[in-house]
Structure 1
Amino acid sequence: MAAADPRAGTIYDLGYRGYEGPRRGRPAAILALYTFTLRAAFGIGRRPTAKIVPFLVTTFAFIPALIQLGVAALIGNRVEIIAPWNYLGFSQVSVALFCAGVAPETFGRDLRYRTLALYFSRSLYRTDYALAKSAAFISALSLLTLGPLLVLVIGNGLASEDVLGYIADHWRELPQSLAAGLLIAAVAGLGSLAIAAHTPRRSYATVAVASWFLVTFPLAGILVDIGGQVGRFAAWFSPFSLLYGAALAIFARQPGADSIQGAADLPIASYLALAAVHAAVAVALILRRFQRVPA
């Protein structure tokens, strides 16, 4: 019997089969990434402790609207403690905490565990990845910025003694609330993601995002007060003062004399324009980051 050639190989049939199911392509991949990120923003599908911060902060964001509805139910709409155009002043801490707690994980986990290569090896482009994740985070943040405004407007109408009269007088507040809530979510969300995307370290990203909200606001107030004609432009660069001014512009309201916007004495429409600029710059920074990040 001839000896076996030591160079010969052996083929084993292990039963592997190729994928024969439907291939939905790029749109389905983008939608799946969007849905996964939106669920992850609230800790759905993750350990129970991951749900505490997003759900607790979201609950706090609705409390001022519920208080106003309780007052309206008891004594009617004669007393308006909280109006749609100044709601951000009551929920800004919730927005900042949500962004600081959730934005670092939106991109950070993939950067930290180097899983981007798995995404980009398929039909997803780098731009698809960045935009799908950003859209999901903005959608999650909209629950905090848009949801309470809709509850406030619709609830006040239902609590009114004359519902039809209330609708006739306040119907504009519904589309204005939609616009203001989405604008706040887009600018705050994109700015937070642009900061968080540049470091895989969760702690660094959390501190950086929180500082963007909570440090720039008092700093802008100081510069507006003592900075003269140049310092007043600081009101454009604090996200809270910028977004509050943009909300006032959407609702066609003027700022109070004791507010940062009133002290800065800048055209109220300029806050809306600068909010759009902030969002565009943030998108550019996010896209640039993921065009250059190694995968």
Structure 2
Amino acid sequence: MAVEQPLGTPVAPSGDQTRIHDIGYRAYDGPRLGRAYARRSLYAQSLRGAYGLGRSAKSKVLPVLLFVVMCVPAAIMVAVTVAAKGKELPLDYTRYAIVMQAVISLYVASQAPQSVSRDLRFRTVPLYFSRPIETADYVRAKYAALASALFVLTAAPLLVLYAGALLAKLDFTDQTEGFAQGLVSVALLSLLFSGIGLVIASVTPRRGFGIAAVIAALTISYGAVSTLQAIADAQGSTGAIAWIGLFSPITLIDGVQSAFLGARSIFPGGVGPGTAEGVVYVLVCLGLIAAAYGLLTRRYKKVGL
């Protein structure tokens, strides 16, 4: 008489039916590339992404358009100088980025959220930190990538101006000195603007909010500082003009280059900060860059949990 098994009780197979299938899995025995390789890869990927490389055609439109807009005025200046056989360029190397600050701000506003907000929105940051990359590696790679992309954007028109100046047979020593000063200026600008943009963009996973916030921070601060400087100049308080300039990123850069790089200032009256005030400008710039790095590191220590 057969005994009924309780429902759900496993039935032992008749005979030995165990099978081991070899599906080809093998342990990895290749080189372990480590954190440095991962950091370089993230940097390269982020730098390419800042110009839409490796992404859809739609993603390439704005950064490439802004790059062209930055370079076209320089090419026109070169053409005019060569055709008219001018003795100097229409615009100084150190002045070019200041004049084109709206384009630079728009680039930072569009690419800083693209660099970090997408990772926050899709919650991929903890995957980066799983192995072997760490918080500091992520922050350094993202910061360096955006700063490098911004440096390319701001240095390319200076290179066009320099090549055109040599083509027009302007003084080699003067043009080389001016070109070097311009590169120092845009390098500092790239670090400062990238840090501010990334800090603001890292707060929100919404790219649209990040873009609006970065534009507001860069443009409203400059508008407010310029207005206050104009009021101080109208009231004869010229001594306050330089100190007011400490509260806007673009006027900070202008103050540094007018104090130490021989640039003409955009401040009312064309008088920038003196040497002592210029030291304060340099310290504030470096302090803001260090603070941006510190805030990003603190932010991603929490996000990566």
Structure 1 and Structure 2 fold alike (TM over 0.5): yes
Partner of 1:206: 211
What is the CA–CA distance in structure 2 between the aligned matches of 1:280 and 1:201, rounded to whole Å?
A: 25
What is the CA–CA distance in structure 2 between the aligned matches of 1:75 and 1:92, rounded to whole Å?
A: 28
Residue among 228, 231, 249 paired with 1:239: 249
Residue among 6, 9, 13 paired with 1:4: 13
Cα offset for 1:23? 1.6
Residue among 81, 84, 91 paired with 2:93: 84
SS at match of 1:172: helix
Partner of 1:44: 53
Cα offset for 1:30? 0.8
Note closer, same or farther for the CA distance 1:195–1:108 as it changes in structure 2 (3 Å cut). same
Partner of 2:224: 219
Partner of 2:113: 104
Structure 1: which 4+ aligned runs deviate by more than 4 Å? 8-12, 227-232, 263-266
**Counterpart contact for 2:118–2:205, Cα < 8 Å:** yes
What is the CA–CA distance in structure 2 between the aligned matches of 1:19 and 1:257, rounded to whole Å?
A: 62
Would you say how many aligned residue pairs link Structure 1 and Structure 2?
287
Residue among 115, 120, 136 paired with 1:127: 136
What is the CA–CA distance in structure 1 between the aligned matches of 2:240 and 2:106, rounded to whole Å?
A: 30
SS at match of 2:228: helix
Note closer, same or farther for the CA distance 1:24–1:185 as it changes in structure 2 (3 Å cut). same
Note closer, same or farther for the CA distance 1:294–1:10 as it changes in structure 2 (3 Å cut). farther
Residue among 186, 190, 196 paired with 1:185: 190
Residue among 176, 181, 189 paired with 1:176: 181
**Counterpart contact for 1:149–1:181, Cα < 8 Å:** no
What is the CA–CA distance in structure 1 between the aligned matches of 2:203 and 2:115, rounded to whole Å?
A: 12
Note closer, same or farther for the CA distance 1:224–1:122 as it changes in structure 2 (3 Å cut). same
Paired AA for residue 245 in structure 1: G
Structure with bigger gyration radius = 2
Residue among 194, 200, 222 paired with 2:199: 194
SS at match of 2:55: coil
What is the CA–CA distance in structure 2 between the aligned matches of 1:158 and 1:201, rounded to whole Å?
A: 47
What is the CA–CA distance in structure 1 between the aligned matches of 2:211 and 2:127, rounded to whole Å?
A: 26
Cα deviation code 1:231-281 (max 9, x no counterpart): 86331121121122223234223526636x738888344333322222111
Paired AA for residue 253 in structure 2: L
**Counterpart contact for 2:245–2:252, Cα < 8 Å:** yes
**Counterpart contact for 1:150–1:178, Cα < 8 Å:** no
RMSD (CA atoms): 2.6
**Counterpart contact for 1:248–1:255, Cα < 8 Å:** yes
What is the CA–CA distance in structure 1 between the aligned matches of 2:41 and 2:18, rounded to whole Å?
A: 42
Deviates more, 1:42-51 or 1:228-237: 228-237
1:153-164 alignment, distance < 5 Å: 153-160=162-169
What is the CA–CA distance in structure 2 between the aligned matches of 1:38 and 1:217, rounded to whole Å?
A: 27
Paired AA for residue 167 in structure 2: L
Paired AA for residue 244 in structure 1: D
> What is the TM-score when the length of structure 1 is the normalising length?
0.88
What is the CA–CA distance in structure 2 between the aligned matches of 1:225 and 1:219, rounded to whole Å?
A: 10
What is the CA–CA distance in structure 1 between the aligned matches of 2:229 and 2:159, rounded to whole Å?
A: 32
Deviates more, 1:147-156 or 1:210-219: 147-156
Identity over aligned pairs, percent: 32
Partner of 1:138: 147
What is the CA–CA distance in structure 2 between the aligned matches of 1:289 and 1:3, rounded to whole Å?
A: 56
**Counterpart contact for 1:88–1:244, Cα < 8 Å:** no
What is the CA–CA distance in structure 1 between the aligned matches of 2:145 and 2:226, rounded to whole Å?
A: 32
What is the CA–CA distance in structure 2 between the aligned matches of 1:110 and 1:120, rounded to whole Å?
A: 12
SS at match of 1:77: coil
Cα deviation code 1:40-78 (max 9, x no counterpart): 111111111000110001111112211211111111232
Cα deviation code 1:123-181 (max 9, x no counterpart): 11110011111101111111111221222123212211xx6xx1133332232122112
